[in-house]
């Protein structure tokens, strides 16, 4: 997809069902048949109407003029800032506009969130955290609070990731491939013999403009000639007057997967496949109904080299939330079988999309808004254990490949390493907005200058672990009279004899299956008498008080209840990491939720958890490139 904005557009259709789709389908047909023009002021739409329809690219110059004409109008400035926010432009332009908007007494609450986002996108993480926290304190909407909390978490991830930048070079592919318009989702076979990608340039097949002011998407292809890519050619066998986008590719390049959203053929956000024949692609054919369903959104996919497994993204019900990654196996009749969710190791309550599979089928790259993303979508890597058919915990591919903005897709080439007899991923293709680019999303070849181990994220929660309702305390009060001391149970407090002065209160833990039994002894007419703590005489003229005695006794026929534990975050904990090789020390303080994220290179470390008033926990550990995240708990107390 071109952006999160367009993806949200599709998601809202999927969430609202077929009725909305049918209504909109009719409206779009009416629009499409009337003209093939870009939504603009030529059609009489005001800047406000353009903005409301999410046509930010056309609304932007209008709001620039309006701000120049009326610089005191904060609504104009806020709308201009939002246009910058939602487009692929230099995000630093946002900050002065939003700072001024938020400085006024009456400003939209969302402007504070957008200001936090502006600092976040420019990697000023501390400033962003402060503003997001302010936003959280001012809103009562639980969804907005959760949204801001997630952004704060990603800022903390970003602070860790930028400490260890990976050594890569971005090579802009140039005018043969890129254009001034959005060019994205590049896919190459492992041998880099050709490239397919999506573009929204004006010369696209249908020439119609989408709701956001850009042309509908088309698929383009470049072949390699003398080591260079040829001029991009529109793949007419695949494209129509509606949206076609590259959704994925098999490592051998024989199958190219296409996202199709065609209102004329009543195809709603589904995945098709095109077979490569010779130098071009064959017309698309549909995947099975197990993969594509009428009311869900399928956006991206990948096929293994042997053609047996299809990985794809979908928001079908029953997942972990939003877009999830699924797998389907090819059946004997050449159709795709029932799908299986890849599970919580890969999927989160946020969106996961754009799977890409290595030539051996055991490494998957994908994008996610969850895990240890530093903002929006980040690119991750997971390795499959063929024996257990399970996936390792995803590893963030690192900064600057990932940024605080959306990094949605990557496609690696494969170079065979004779020494290790394994494929080496030295080159990859991505789409990104960068300063040296041609104006919008552009396609880059990424060179990994140093093949180094990926950073590993150690995530977990520092918590206290206590028995729920099973710990019983008995309260005792201490009284004194001269040198004498008297300890009485809570039911006898305050003590009736005013000659005794209260000193202090103590709580004593009661052993499970026991109770404290208290006896109070008096003397009357030379005889010693014993009373319970609930019924004892308080008339000292008739009785002479002698002694209070509390004894721990067993409860007859006691049955121990089932143990239930309560886990609470320990916000005062300090995590101390020591590198065993050079003894460098790193300290981390968990968030208020008790959660921590530590991102370090593979190695051997000692980790210490220091909590005030609790024992000091120390544990040596090490992790490698494919290690799972570690969840730290104390042996019962942290």
The answer to whether residues 389 and 480 belong to one domain is no
Report the distance separating Cα 634 and Cα 327, nearest Å.
Answer: 37
Percent of the chain with pLDDT over 70: 81
pLDDT, residue 559, reads 86
The answer to whether residues 443 and 589 belong to one domain is no
The answer to whether residues 479 and 609 belong to one domain is no
The answer to whether residue 8 scores a pLDDT higher than 80 is no
Report the distance separating Cα 165 and Cα 314, nearest Å.
Answer: 32
pLDDT, residue 231, reads 95
- Please report whether residue 363 resides in a domain: yes
Residue that finishes a domain, picked among 452, 484, 517 = 452
CB-based contact 451:424 (threshold 8 Å): yes
**Residue 615 C-beta-side C-alpha neighbours within 13 Å:** 9
The answer to whether residues 229 and 374 belong to one domain is yes
- Please report whether residue 30 resides in a domain: no
For the residues 432-458, what does the mean pLDDT come to? 83
The answer to whether residues 383 and 247 belong to one domain is yes
Quick one: which of 213, 192, 328 has its CA closest to 271?
328
pLDDT, residue 33, reads 40
Can you spell out the DSSP letters for 128-197? HHHHHHHHHHH---HHHHHHHHHHHHHHHHHHHHTTS---EEEEE--TTT--SS-EEEEE--TT-SEEEE
Question: What's the DSSP call for residue 425?
Answer: -
Q: Is 507 buried (19+), middle (13-18) or exposed (0-12) by CB count in 10 A?
A: exposed
pLDDT, residue 80, reads 98
- Please report whether residue 116 resides in a domain: yes
The answer to whether residues 573 and 545 belong to one domain is no
The answer to whether residue 29 scores a pLDDT higher than 50 is no
- Please report whether residue 463 resides in a domain: yes
pLDDT tens, residue by residue, 341-356: 999 999 999 999 999 9
Select the more confidently predicted residue: 327 or 542. 327
- Please report whether residue 21 resides in a domain: no
For the residues 369-394, what does the mean pLDDT come to? 93
pLDDT tens, residue by residue, 209-251: 888 999 999 999 999 887 889 999 999 999 998 899 999 999 8
pLDDT, residue 457, reads 63
The answer to whether residues 101 and 222 belong to one domain is no
- Please report whether residue 13 resides in a domain: no
Residue that finishes a domain, picked among 499, 525, 554 = 554
Mean pLDDT of the chain: 84
- Please report whether residue 603 resides in a domain: yes
Work out the pLDDT band at 2, boundaries 50, 70, 90: very low
Quick one: which of 155, 153, 110, 158 has its CA closest to 134?
110
User: What are the start-end ranges of the E strands in 278-421?
Assistant: 280-281, 285-286, 298-303, 309-314, 324-330, 336-341, 352-357, 363-368, 378-385, 390-391, 395-396, 410-412, 415-417
The answer to whether residues 225 and 306 belong to one domain is yes
The answer to whether residues 437 and 545 belong to one domain is no
Q: What is the pTM of this model?
A: 0.74
CATH of the domain at 581: 2.60.40.1120
The answer to whether residues 178 and 298 belong to one domain is yes
The answer to whether residues 189 and 281 belong to one domain is yes
CATH of the domain at 310: 2.115.10.20
Range from 14-23, 129-138, 284-293, 352-361 carrying the lowest mean pLDDT: 14-23
pLDDT, residue 42, reads 45
Cβ count within 10 A of residue 256: 27
For the residues 191-219, what does the mean pLDDT come to? 90
Cβ count within 10 A of residue 522: 18
Domain boundaries, position 381? 168-452
The answer to whether residues 462 and 341 belong to one domain is no
Overall number of domains in the chain:
4
The answer to whether residue 32 scores a pLDDT higher than 50 is no
CA 215 from centroid of its chain's CA atoms = 30
- Please report whether residue 618 resides in a domain: yes
Residue that finishes a domain, picked among 402, 425, 452 = 452
């Amino acid at each position: 997809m071109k952006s999160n904005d367009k993806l949200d557009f599709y998601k809202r259709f999927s969430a609202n069902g077929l009725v909305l789709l049918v209504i909109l389908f009719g409206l779009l047909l009416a629009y499409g048949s009337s003209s093939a023009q870009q939504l603009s002021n030529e059609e009489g739409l005001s800047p406000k109407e353009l903005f409301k329809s999410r046509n930010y690219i056309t609304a932007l110059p209008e709001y620039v003029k309006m701000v120049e004409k009326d610089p005191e109008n904060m609504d104009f400035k806020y709308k201009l800032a939002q246009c910058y926010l939602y487009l692929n432009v230099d995000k630093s332009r946002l900050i002065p506009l939003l700072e001024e908007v938020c400085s006024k007494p009456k400003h939209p609450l969302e402007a504070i969130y957008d200001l936090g986002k502006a600092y976040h996108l420019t990697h000023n993480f501390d400033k962003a955290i402060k503003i997001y926290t302010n936003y959280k304190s001012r809103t009562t909407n639980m969804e907005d609070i959760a949204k801001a909390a997630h952004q704060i978490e990603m800022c903390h991830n970003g602070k860790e990731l930028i400490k260890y930048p990976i050594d890569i070079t971005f090579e802009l592919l140039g005018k043969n491939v890129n254009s001034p318009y959005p060019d994205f989702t590049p896919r190459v076979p492992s041998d880099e013999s050709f490239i397919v990608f999506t573009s929204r340039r004006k010369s696209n097949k249908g020439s119609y403009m989408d709701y956001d002011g850009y042309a509908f998407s088309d698929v383009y292809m470049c072949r390699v000639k003398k080591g260079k890519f040829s001029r991009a050619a529109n793949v007419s066998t695949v494209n129509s007057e509606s949206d076609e986008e590259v959704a994925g590719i098999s490592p051998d390049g024989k199958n190219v997967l296409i996202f199709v959203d065609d209102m004329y053929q009543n195809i709603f956000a589904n995945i098709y496949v095109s077979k490569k024949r010779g130098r071009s692609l064959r017309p698309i054919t549909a995947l099975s109904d197990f993969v594509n369903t009428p009311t869900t959104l399928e956006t991206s996919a990948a096929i293994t080299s042997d053609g047996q497994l299809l990985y794809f993204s979908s928001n079908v019900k029953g997942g972990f939330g939003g877009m999830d990654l699924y797998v389907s196996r090819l059946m004997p009749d050449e159709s795709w079988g029932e799908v299986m969710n890849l599970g919580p190791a890969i999927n989160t309550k946020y969106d996961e999309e754009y799977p890409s599979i290595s030539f051996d089928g055991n490494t998957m790259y994908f994008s996610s808004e969850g895990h240890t993303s530093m903002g929006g979508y980040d690119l991750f890597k997971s390795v499959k254990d063929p024996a257990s058919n399970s996936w390792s915990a995803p590893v963030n591919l690192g900064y600057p490949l990932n940024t605080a903005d959306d990094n949605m897709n990557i496609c690696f080439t494969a170079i065979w390493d004779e020494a290790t007899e394994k494929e080496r991923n030295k080159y990859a293709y991505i789409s990104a907005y960068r300063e040296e680019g041609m104006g919008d999303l552009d396609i880059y070849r990424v060179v990994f200058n140093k093949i180094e181990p990926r950073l590993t994220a150690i995530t977990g929660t520092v918590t206290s672990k206590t028995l729920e309702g099973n710990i019983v305390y008995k309260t005792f009060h201490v009284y004194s009279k001269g040198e004498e001391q008297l300890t009485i149970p809570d039911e006898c407090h305050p003590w009736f004899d005013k000659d005794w002065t209260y000193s202090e209160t103590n709580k004593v833990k009661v052993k499970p299956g026991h109770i404290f039994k208290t006896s109070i002894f008096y003397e009357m007419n030379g005889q010693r008498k014993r009373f319970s703590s609930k019924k004892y005489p308080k008339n000292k003229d008739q009785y002479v008080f002698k002694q209070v005695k509390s004894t721990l006794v067993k409860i007859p026929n006691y049955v121990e209840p089932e143990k239930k534990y309560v886990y609470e975050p320990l916000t005062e904990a300090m995590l101390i990491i020591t590198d065993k090789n050079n003894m460098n020390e790193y300290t981390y303080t968990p968030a208020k939720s008790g959660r921590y994220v530590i991102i370090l290179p593979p190695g051997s470390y000692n980790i210490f958890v220091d909590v005030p008033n609790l024992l000091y926990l120390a544990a040596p550990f090490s992790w490698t490139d494919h290690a799972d995240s570690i969840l730290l708990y104390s042996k019962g107390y942290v």
